Amino acid sequence: MILTVTPNAAVDLTYRVPRLERHGSHRVTEVTERPGGKGINVARVLAALGHDTVVTGFAGGRTGEQLRALLADAAPEKLLSWPGSVTDALVPVAAGTRRTVAVVDEESGDTTQFNEPGPLITPEEWDGFLGTYRGLLTDTGTDAVALCGSLPPGVPVGAYGTLVREARSAGVPVLLDTSGEPLLRGLAARPDLIKPNAHELAEITGTSEPLRAAHEARRRGPHTVAASLGPDGMLLVTADQVWQAVPPRLDGNPTGAGDSAVAGLLSGLVEGLPWPARLARAVALSAATVRSRVAGEFDQETYAELLPQVEVAERTPTP
Amino acid sequence: MILTVTPNAAVDLTYRVPRLERHGSHRVTEVTERPGGKGINVARVLAALGHDTVVTGFAGGRTGEQLRALLADAAPEKLLSWPGSVTDALVPVAAGTRRTVAVVDEESGDTTQFNEPGPLITPEEWDGFLGTYRGLLTDTGTDAVALCGSLPPGVPVGAYGTLVREARSAGVPVLLDTSGEPLLRGLAARPDLIKPNAHELAEITGTSEPLRAAHEARRRGPHTVAASLGPDGMLLVTADQVWQAVPPRLDGNPTGAGDSAVAGLLSGLVEGLPWPARLARAVALSAATVRSRVAGEFDQETYAELLPQVEVAERTPTP
């Protein structure tokens, strides 16, 4: 089983409009509701790939109920094409889960995104969550854990450091995918893998050249750095190797592409694949997500078609 | 008691963002949730003015539950400043109540609006609603009824004609505030009052000059036409008189200004005020809504300040 943690889970709404006009009034032609937040997206891709997953984090208020209902609706027994499962282990909180609204402009295909602020988590709720998290790490056959996304208000900024250390104590491989100060604090606790994008990497290292920045980030603690570079694919820096994987093409909506990449890396880890195969999977899943009609979903056929087309090459290990 | 009908009720979300960028990603700094839809807005303004109201229409799904919870939260026993009440007589339906999202750009003050499509109403649900509506018209001390807004999918396009005729049979004064084909069909059933804006009036008459268009609309059935003209206030055409009311100033967000005008006209009718006083109230309430921070709310102090400043003048009755 793979555990994913989403402290700032969401209900994701996608609105399609014929053409977005700043300060105009729009009739939405199509509404899609999905369970959202990075770790939940990762779990859904993992389940589609055949892995059983457990999702934890916080759920509160009416939107929290809606999130849980959407997770239950998307259970694989209802969607027969998913060979894996998503089990809800979200921790109830008093404040309401946030919504995100992605407005897709049908004329240009571009997306305008609105993210509500997350719910305020109390110190007692955070402590309660830590207990649940420890139980999930140790009680079940947890093969890996992914810590994903932003922290809602009230959660300590060093939270990911704590969660990485707990995973390492339990002997569970841990991937961290966040940004800014929460990423910096998490790095120092030495996660097995981080997956920043080029912007996040530059933000924490002050270096814009991706290979140098990835090396620099790795020096701060994580065993491996997988940097997602958009159309340039993914760069992987381990203790002694550097790999780059390039997808055949990337056009569409990038929402969720990073989460699909995390699912590709994690599934490859749990299946014991070599690094080049993990990278190829991550990049093909990203590309299949970019080309999907609904923000954050990935297209299985596109994935199967793209996977053999991804080029993975070893690069000179030092910058 | 004043009854308001909102066939296409909504949960209204207002998002504040520092600056709206087409195709950008935005952190929403403030989220406001309100019970929405024109008739519900009208009832809330009436309650704030001291009138007891009953709201009917449809509510369904999780957003329908949220709408009812928001109505209950806004009950006057909780908000002591409201001397009137809003009683929920919404009819449950299977499909989900829509949301609307108003994105306020804090830099310019302008609003970008997204309206989800309404729920599909079945013929059985429409028949059930008609029974509820007849009961509300006849069983209680209903002094007036307002029929407000768009029709959700599945409701017959001639619905407002039916609802106007039922009100007239029950001897209850009826105001109709809608647009397009539903307005044209409703007109023919001879409502006591319609309140189109300049655009809606031009759309049904083919005449863009407001006074001529208002006369033309009145010939099609309604006893009185109150045309809202934005910054130019309101034009009223009865069988033998024409009045125009002009507010001192109008700057801000026009969302809900028309609904506040309806509340002003209806409260004046029920209180037996002469037409100039009803018009002044409608125009001052509109202006106080335009100047409110939250889309659709009106500011009581601004209303009290503006009311004596509205100029009402009689105009030549024929165009």
Q: Tens digit of pLDDT for each residue in B289-301?
A: 988 766 667 888 8
> Are A148 and A159 contacting, i.e. CB atoms less than 8 angstroms apart?
no
Give mean pLDDT, residues B75-100: 85
Partnered with residue A236 across adjacent β-strands are A226, A243
Interface touch B116/A66, C-beta < 8 Å: no
Write out pLDDT tens, residues A110-138: 889 999 999 999 999 999 999 999 999 99
pLDDT of residue A295: 61
Give mean pLDDT, residues A51-65: 96
B301 exposed, middle or buried (CB, 10 Å; 0-12, 13-18, 19+)?
A: exposed
Catalytic entry in B12, B192, B259, B299: B259
Give mean pLDDT, residues A32-45: 94
Is residue B80 predicted with pLDDT exceeding 60? Answer: no
Q: Indicate the residue of B27, B112, B115 with minimum beta-carbon distance to A115.
A: B27
pLDDT of residue B252: 73
Q: Indicate the residue of A26, A110, A114 with minimum beta-carbon distance to B115.
A: A26
- DSSP-derived secondary structure letter, A242: E
Interface touch B25/A115, C-beta < 8 Å: yes
pLDDT of residue B82: 76
Interface touch A21/B112, C-beta < 8 Å: yes
Nearest CA in chain B to A255: B25
Q: Indicate the residue of B29, B101, B110 with minimum beta-carbon distance to A101.
A: B101
The tokens of A6 are what?
A: 């989403």
Interface touch B23/A23, C-beta < 8 Å: no
A8-17, A42-51, B57-66, B310-319: segment of lowest average pLDDT: B310-319
Q: Where are the domains of chain A?
A: 1-146, 192-319
B116 interaction partners in chain A (CB closer than 8 Å)? 15, 28, 31
- Is the torsion defined by CA of B28, B29, B34, B39 positive or negative? negative
pLDDT of residue B75: 62
Write out pLDDT tens, residues A161-184: 999 999 999 999 999 999 999 999
Mean pLDDT of chain B: 92
Give mean pLDDT, residues B63-88: 81
Could you tell me the CA-to-CA distances from B116 to A151, A319, B17, B188 in Å, in that order? 30, 51, 20, 29
Matching fold, domains A1-146 and A192-319 = yes
Q: Indicate the residue of A13, A24, A66 with minimum beta-carbon distance to B112.
A: A24
Quote the CA–CA distance of B276 and B254 in Å, as a whole number.
23
pLDDT of residue B299: 83
The tokens of B310 are what?
A: 């509205």
Is residue A94 predicted with pLDDT exceeding 80? Answer: yes
> Are B263 and B285 contacting, i.e. CB atoms less than 8 angstroms apart?
yes
Looking up tokens 């049979």 gives B169
How close does chain B come to A64, measured CA to CA in Å?
A: 11
How close does chain A come to B24, measured CA to CA in Å?
A: 5
- pLDDT top residue among B80 and B279: B279
pLDDT of residue B294: 66
Interface touch A17/B114, C-beta < 8 Å: yes
Interface touch A15/B116, C-beta < 8 Å: yes
Write out pLDDT tens, residues B11-44: 999 999 999 999 899 999 999 999 999 999 999 9
Write out pLDDT tens, residues B186-210: 999 999 999 999 999 999 999 999 9
pLDDT of residue B250: 64
Substitution target from A8, A20, A23 for chain B, most B beta carbons within 10 A: A23
Active site residue B259: yes
The tokens of B5 are what?
A: 């009908």
Quote the CA–CA distance of A214 and A318 in Å, as a whole number.
10
Mean pLDDT of chain A: 92
Q: Using alpha carbons only, give the angle B52, B40, B205 rounded to the nearest 5 degrees.
A: 115
Residue B160: which pLDDT band, with cuts at 50, 70 and 90? very high
β-bridge pairing A25-27 and B111-115: parallel
How does DSSP assign chain B, residue by residue?
Answer: -EEEEETT-EEEEEEEESS--TT-EEE-SEEEEEEESHHHHHHHHHHHTT--EEEEEEEEHHHHHHHHHHHHHT-TTTSTT--S-EEE-PEEESSPPEEEEEEEETTT--EEEEEPPPPPPPHHHHHHHHHHHHHHHHHS---EEEEESPPPTTS-TTHHHHHHHHHHHTT--EEEE--HHHHHHHHTT--SEE--BHHHHHHHHS--SHHHHHHHHHHTS-SEEEEE-GGG-EEEE-SS-EEEEE-S---S--TTHHHHHHHHHHHHHHTT--HHHHHHHHHHHHHHHHT-SSTT---HHHHHHHGGG-EEEEE-S--
Residue A8: which pLDDT band, with cuts at 50, 70 and 90? very high
Is residue A318 predicted with pLDDT exceeding 90? Answer: no
Chain A interface residues (partner B, CB cutoff 8 A): 13, 15, 17, 20-29, 31, 62, 65-66, 69, 99, 101, 103, 105, 108, 110-117
> Which residue type sits at B8?
N
Substitution target from B11, B21, B32, B114 for chain A, most A beta carbons within 10 A: B114
Nearest to B175 by CA among B104, B236, B253, B111: B236
The tokens of A261 are what?
A: 């990449």
Is residue A319 predicted with pLDDT exceeding 60? Answer: no
Is residue B147 predicted with pLDDT exceeding 80? Answer: yes
The tokens of A168 are what?
A: 């390492």
**Which residues 6+ apart lie within 8 Å of A296 measured at CB?**
A12, A34, A36, A41, A255, A256, A259, A289
Question: Other CB atoms closer than 10 Å to residue B131's CB: what's the count?
Answer: 10
Residue A160: which pLDDT band, with cuts at 50, 70 and 90? very high
Interface touch A103/B115, C-beta < 8 Å: no
Dihedral angle over CA of B273, B278, B280, B284, nearest 10: 120
Q: Would you tell me which CATH number, out of the four given (3.20.20.80, 3.20.20.70, 3.40.1190.20, 1.10.287.3510), belongs to the domain A1-146?
A: 3.40.1190.20
**Which residues 6+ apart lie within 8 Å of A127 measured at CB?**
none
Domain B2-6+38-94+119-315 belongs in CATH node 1.10.10.60: no
A124-128, A142-146, B170-174, B228-232: segment of lowest average pLDDT: B228-232
pLDDT of residue B79: 60
Catalytically annotated residues of A: 259
> Which residue type sits at A44?
R
CATH number given to A192-319: 3.40.1190.20
The tokens of A250 are what?
A: 């990337």
Rounded to a whole number of angstroms, the distance between the first and last alpha carbons of chain B is 37
> Are A146 and A282 contacting, i.e. CB atoms less than 8 angstroms apart?
no
pLDDT of residue A109: 84
Write out pLDDT tens, residues B92-124: 999 999 999 999 999 988 889 999 999 999 999
- DSSP-derived secondary structure letter, A223: S
How close does chain B come to A29, measured CA to CA in Å?
A: 7
Write out pLDDT tens, residues A284-300: 999 999 887 666 678 88
Interface touch B23/A112, C-beta < 8 Å: yes
The tokens of B194 are what?
A: 């319609």
pLDDT of residue B230: 87
Nearest to A151 by CA among A121, A189, A128, A187: A121
Interface touch B112/A23, C-beta < 8 Å: yes
Give mean pLDDT, residues A22-42: 94
